[in-house]
Amino acid sequence: MLAEGYPSPDADLTRRELTRVVELALPSLALRSSSAQSQGKEEVEEVWKAIREGSEESFAPAVGEIERVKVIYVASKFANNELIGHLITGLAMDQARSKKEE
């Protein structure tokens, strides 16, 4: 879904890279979602609104591995696109729950 509309001669590579950006950001986003949930936010919408502000730093680890422009693209989609934001937040919430169960 992230790669749809992204201009690239190699759509498969771009899809993998954008997915990798999300994977690298998830640990930080999961920590932030866990914090939001501990403050009583349980719905994806509430958690997304709580963690999207200042979320750029969560995507920073990806810059060393993926082109900066692609990292910025994913971070922007997360912060400004409700559908993408909710999908990534849901993944972060799942990861946070998994960590609690360990």
Tell me the whole-structure pTM to 2 decimals. Answer: 0.92
Q: How far apart are CA 5 and CA 84, in angstroms?
A: 14
Neighbours of 47 (CB within 10 A): 26
Q: How far apart are CA 78 and CA 86, in angstroms?
A: 8
- pLDDT per residue rounded down to tens, the chain (102 residues): 888 888 899 999 999 999 999 999 999 999 999 999 999 999 999 999 999 988 999 999 999 999 999 999 999 999 999 999 999 999 999 999 887 776
- Helices 11-38 and 44-52 cross at an angle (nearest 10°) of 100
21, 66 Cβ separation under 8 angstroms:
yes
Place of tokens 């360990």: 102
